[in-house]
């Protein structure tokens, strides 16, 4: 039943994401059972051939694989912890967003109740679900992932990260750090350029090119971090720190927000004070590895 092209699946939670997940399974021909707290959100899917289960317990018994995708882990626990819900023998894939501690705790909780459990994170928006562009991360027992890989692949590019249930959430939040850092850096530059009458659309292609160029540095810099050795092959951190002063001074002179550049500089200054000024930028990993101010 597992990797068969017609394996029955269940989706619990029909918000924007859950509806997209169920829609992709229906399109691929999987018998699809759905359940949502607000039942009317199932109407379109039922018209397309989904079966609406009357209760969560019924939904769980209908599929060889159950995907749950609701707002948060608390909602997962409320739904699956109800007294009329039996998890014994079920295969759960929880695509609800959260943090790694919540994922590990949910895994323990579900496994104690006899379920097999994979945690997951959707690195995509609903419109691309069902295409290869939709990367969906999974962590937990590899044998469970492999047993359902082709079914999970219907939703996008199913990617397995490792046995630690927390990994999918960790990658997910690490990705958020990347996303907001790039966006904030772009907004900083855009705010500065707008003072000279350059609009956001004019700057965006330049910013995109810079972001793509910097992304090319990552494998080499990662090798430095992994080896713990940071020779200044391109530039030394103290050179970068001097350029940060230009960014701060320019921002202040233009009257735009300089908090982000000051944060860059404060971290670089600490690393320089610790004796790393002659090393290359990724030596800052040592600052990022500390708890810092709370």
> Which parts of this chain interact with ligand NAP (CB under 6 A)?
13-18, 36-38, 41, 69-71, 75, 78-79, 96-97, 122, 125-126
Residues with Cβ < 8 Å from 245, sequence gap 6 or more?
A: 265
Nearer to ligand NAP, 83 or 227 (CB): 83
Minimum CB distance to ligand NAP, residue 41 (Å): 5
Nearer to ligand NAP, 92 or 237 (CB): 92
CA 270 – CA 244 distance, rounded (Å): 14
Minimum CB distance to ligand NAP, residue 258 (Å): 32
**Structure tokens belonging to residue 179:** 């996303």
DSSP calls for 128-187: GTTSTT-EEEEES-HHHHHHHHHHHGGGSEEEEEES-TTHHHHHHHHHHHHHHHHHHHHH
Minimum CB distance to ligand NAP, residue 72 (Å): 6
Question: What is the strand order of the sheet 32-35 is part of?
Answer: 51-52, 32-35, 9-12, 65-68, 91-94, 116-123, 135-139, 157-162
Minimum CB distance to ligand NAP, residue 143 (Å): 26
Nearer to ligand NAP, 17 or 24 (CB): 17
Nearer to ligand NAP, 17 or 272 (CB): 17
Nearer to ligand NAP, 103 or 268 (CB): 103
Q: Which residue is nearest to ligand NAP (CB)?
A: 15
181 touches 207 (CB < 8 A): no
Minimum CB distance to ligand NAP, residue 136 (Å): 9
Nearer to ligand NAP, 84 or 233 (CB): 84
17 touches 61 (CB < 8 A): no
Nearer to ligand NAP, 62 or 285 (CB): 62
**Structure tokens belonging to residue 250:** 């320019």
Minimum CB distance to ligand NAP, residue 207 (Å): 23
Q: What residues are paired with 92 via a beta bridge? A: 66, 117
Minimum CB distance to ligand NAP, residue 111 (Å): 21
């Amino acid at each position: 039943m597992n990797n068969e092209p017609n394996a029955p699946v269940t989706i619990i939670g029909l918000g924007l994401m859950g509806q997209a997940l169920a829609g992709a399974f229906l399109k691929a021909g999987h018998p699809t059972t759905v359940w949502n707290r607000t039942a009317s959100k199932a109407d379109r899917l039922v018209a397309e051939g989904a079966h609406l289960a009357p209760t969560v317990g019924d939904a769980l018994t209908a599929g060889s694989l159950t995907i749950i995708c609701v707002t948060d882990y608390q909602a997962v626990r409320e739904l699956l912890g109800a007294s009329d819900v039996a998890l014994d023998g079920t295969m759960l894939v929880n695509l609800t967003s959260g943090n790694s501690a919540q994922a590990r705790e949910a895994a323990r909780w579900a496994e104690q109740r006899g379920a097999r459990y994979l945690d997951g994170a959707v690195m995509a928006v609903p419109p691309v679900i069902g295409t290869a562009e939709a990367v969906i991360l999974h962590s937990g027992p590899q044998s469970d992932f492999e047993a359902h890989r082709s079914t999970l692949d219907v939703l996008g590019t199913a990617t397995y990260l490792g046995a630690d249930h927390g990994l999918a959430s960790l990658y997910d939040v690490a990705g958020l750090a990347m996303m907001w850092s790039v966006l904030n850096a772009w907004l900083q530059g855009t705010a500065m350029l707008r003072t000279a009458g350059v609009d956001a659309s004019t700057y965006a292609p330049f910013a995109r090119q810079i972001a793509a160029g910097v992304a090319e540095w990552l494998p080499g810099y990662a090798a430095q971090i992994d080896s713990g050795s940071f020779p200044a092959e391109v530039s030394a951190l103290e050179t970068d720190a001097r350029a940060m002063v230009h960014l701060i001074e320019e921002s202040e002179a233009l009257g735009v927000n300089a908090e982000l550049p000051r944060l860059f500089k404060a971290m670089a200054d600490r690393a320089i004070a610790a004796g790393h000024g002659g090393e290359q930028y990724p030596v800052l990993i040592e600052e990022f590895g500390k708890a810092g101010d709370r």
